[in-house]
Structure 1
């Protein structure tokens, strides 16, 4: 996996390769209403872009959600 820079992510969004990061953030938080985002990360993995959101849900549990950055589909949602 390779980290994607902010500049590269802006180009990917502009070229419609991935969804806007705000939409991906919304998709993650929608799964856990009331959750607070702690961190985000975009990585390229075998030609696929994975957007990871780490958040704390209303029960105080830390969660990691991986989204396919092109579609917004959840790849993984697990409690840390």
Structure 2
């Protein structure tokens, strides 16, 4: 029984650590990172995401620092009204995720 409780506590701590590892960045911090060259220019990141969905419109953006990486997340509504979740590595511009929103 003690072993089961210990395993449960370890799992809960691991889950909590994962949650604590992601942090949303505010506009001021994002601009500083861009100006320092740490992340790509936001217009370049937006253009990369929109190439995946031509004639789409960006409805939301968010910059996060997670597990040592800067992630730029966008919600795009394509020309047919379908919503897409797109995630880019903000440092390289590489597409990490491009999936239809549920």
> Could you state the TM-score of these two structures normalised by the residue count of structure 2?
0.76
Residues 7-61 of structure 1 deviation map (CA, whole Å, 9 limit, x = unaligned): 1011101111000111111110011100011000000001100000101011211
Q: Which runs of 5+ in 2 are unaligned?
A: 1-21
Rg comparison, structure with higher value: 2
Q: Which runs of 5+ in 1 are unaligned?
A: none
Provide the secondary structure at the position in 1 that maps to 2:32.
helix
RMSD over equivalenced CA pairs, Å: 0.6
By relative contact order (CA 8 Å, sep 6+), the higher-ranking structure is 1
> Which structure has more strand as a fraction of its residues?
1
- The 4+ residue runs of structure 1 with deviation greater than 2 A are none
> Which structure has more helix as a fraction of its residues?
2
